[in-house]
Structure formats: C-alpha cells, structure tokens
Amino acid sequence: MRIGNIANENNSTNIQNKNSSYKILTVDDEIGIVDSLSIFLKRSGYSFAGETDPVKAIDRIKNEHFDLLLLDFLMTPLHGDQVVEEIRKFNKDLYIILLTGHKDLAPPLETIRRLDIQSYCEKSDKFDQLLLLIESGIKSVEQMREIKKINAELAETYEKLEKSYMESIETVRYTVEAKDLYTRGHSDRVSEYSVLIGKKLGLNDEDIRRLKIGGLFHDVGKIGVPDSILQKNAKLTDDEYSQIKNHPTIGAHILSTASIFQDIIPIVKHHHERYDGNGYPSRLKGEEIPYLSRIAAIADSFDAMTSRRVYRDSLPMDIVISEIEKNKGTQFDPQIADAFLDILKNDYSSIEEIMRKYK
C-alpha cells in the first residue's frame, strides 16, 4: 500500500513540475473567482496570474508571455469578445478559454470561430470540467511548441542547405568567368541592370530578388561550352554558334537539381528568346516569354553592346540607344524597352555607377 502511495505522489509531483512551465492568466471582474482559480490552478502546479481589469489584462498580454487565457465574457468596461478582438491584433497564438456564467448570454458560435477562441465553459462551483479543458488546451500549446521547434530546426537546416547550394553555384559561376574573360563582371552588371529595370517597372520585392539572382546566374550554363569556343578570337562557325546556344538549356539543367533555384530557371533558360519568336532555345514569342526573362534579355543585350570584345570596341551610347529603339517589338518587349530607354535618357548616372562598380 505504501509503495502505491509513493508512486502516486511521485506521479503527482512530476505532473506539477511539468505544469509549472505553463503560465495561465485569468481575467474576471469578480475578485472571488480570480482568487478561487488561483488556489485551484496553483494546486494543480500551474504558474498563475490574475486580473480583474480587462484593459490591464490586455496590456499584460502585450508585455508578458502567457500560454493560456481564462477569460470571463460579461465584464466591464469590456466584454470578453472585445478583449479577444484586441488581443488578436497582436497575438494570434494565445490559447483562449471563454468563461460564461449564463449559457444564454454566451457569444454566438460565429464570433467564437472568428476570434479563434478555442473553447468556452460555463462557470461552476466545481472546476472538474474546466480542468479538463485546461489540460486539453495545455496539450495543444505543448504540440504547438513542438511544431515551432521542429519548424525552426527545419528552417535552420534549409538555410544551411540553401547557403551550400548557393556557394556551389557561385563556384560554377566563377569557373565560367575564368574560362571566358568577357563574362567577368558581365553577370553582375546584367543582374544590376535587371534590378534597375524591374524597379522602374514597379515590380514587387520578390520579383526584384528573382531578377537579381537570375541575372547573376543567367550564363552559368557556359560551364558546358568548350573553352576553345568561349575564348575564340575569330568569328564562330555555325556549329560553334550552335554549341554556344546550348548554354541556357545547360544552365537551367544545372539549377534544376536545387529547389531554391526553381523560380529563376525561366530567366536562365529564356534570356535569349526574342519578342518576335526568333530567339533560342524554345523560340517563344511575345507574352509566351516569361516576363522576368524579357527584362533580363534587354539587360544582357545592353551589356553585350557596351562591353569591349576581342573583335570590337564597346559601342557608343547613342548607337546603343538607337539599336534598342530599332529592335523594339522584334528583339525586345516594347514596354520594357521603353522603360529602359527612359533610364538611359533620364537616369544615366545609375547606369554609369554600375559600370564603374563592375569594370
């Protein structure tokens, strides 16, 4: 008999120790109920706090951590649903049990669902039903803690994996630059020009991010092009040019193995498509070409025209502008071309800054 008592006492102590890590706030404008719940919940091992003023309770929840809220419905100066309305503006996670002394005066089910009130309970001299609801609520809180912990660990793992992939692809990019002197600085400039155009067009932050990363890696497929072709000083043969034209597809294939690059693959694969459908590799036409790819295409062409090559010097800016004007609607999306021309004519200092940065 004594052994059984000891086991029960140990079990009770373990439960109380576990409960002590959860903090419960009770809000009721009747001090007697707050005091009764204080005794009851502390005896069950919970960390307890009580408030009779709902306004003060809202302020405490803003500044302190609570796992569960026991909230009276009929109070002054705010009813329970009004209190929850305020709380949900800054705290979506707090587990709330609404207490009501009159079942007929309880808020409608629609309100309970809208405010994400997890449960409600009629007040009683006995706290058995309330204790069951609290225990159920604490289990939910415990599960949410575990889910958040797992999510944080997964996010950390994903971040490390993402960094590893990024470093690997950066290595490939730098290898390409070592193979092809023209590419050195080219990808950085295309990235910056693309971002400049994207901002001019009023794109959102996520699209700007895609343009930035897509520009950096748009020529990564040149890793699969022979050095003899990349470094050739003379005009390319048709066969050699065909091999050069494979680099967008190669680049898309390289990046396809990592989920973090999925949203930039269209830029990498289609930055050599033409608006009239005569580009490569897919001969897409007009709106068929992904929008961000159309932006990268004009940034890429601009940098090609303004960069010194083995067989020619960089083109004068008036010639470059003339070429863009001439190729609107054929090589380039007209709207995007107009946006870039506006930058070139009215905000050329931003272009010069990029050129100086990546000489």
Question: What would the pLDDT profile of 264-274 be if each residue is shown by its tens digit?
Answer: 999 999 999 99
Q: What is the CATH number of the domain that holds 75?
A: 3.40.50.2300
Residue whose C-alpha is closest to residue 124's, from 133, 115, 116: 133
Based on the structure, what is the number of domains in the chain?
Answer: 2
Query: Is 155 a member of any domain?
Result: no
pLDDT at 201: 97
Task: For residue 18, name the pLDDT band (cuts at 50, 70, 90).
Answer: low
Question: What would the pLDDT profile of 105-140 be if each residue is shown by its tens digit?
Answer: 667 778 888 888 888 888 877 788 888 889 988 888
Across all residues in the chain, what is the average pLDDT?
86
- Same domain, yes or no: 123 and 248: no
- Same domain, yes or no: 196 and 127: no
Question: What would the pLDDT profile of 133-153 be if each residue is shown by its tens digit?
Answer: 899 888 888 888 887 887 777
Catalytic option among 92, 139, 222, 285: 222
pTM higher than 0.75, yes or no? no
Task: Identify which has the larger pLDDT, 322 or 227.
Answer: 322
- Same domain, yes or no: 122 and 238: no
Query: Is 152 a member of any domain?
Result: no
- 222 as an active site residue: the answer is yes
Query: Is 115 a member of any domain?
Result: yes
Radius of gyration, alpha carbons of the chain: 33
Query: Is 85 a member of any domain?
Result: yes
pLDDT at 9: 47
Phi-psi bin for 105: left (phi > 0), alpha (psi -120 to 50), beta?
alpha
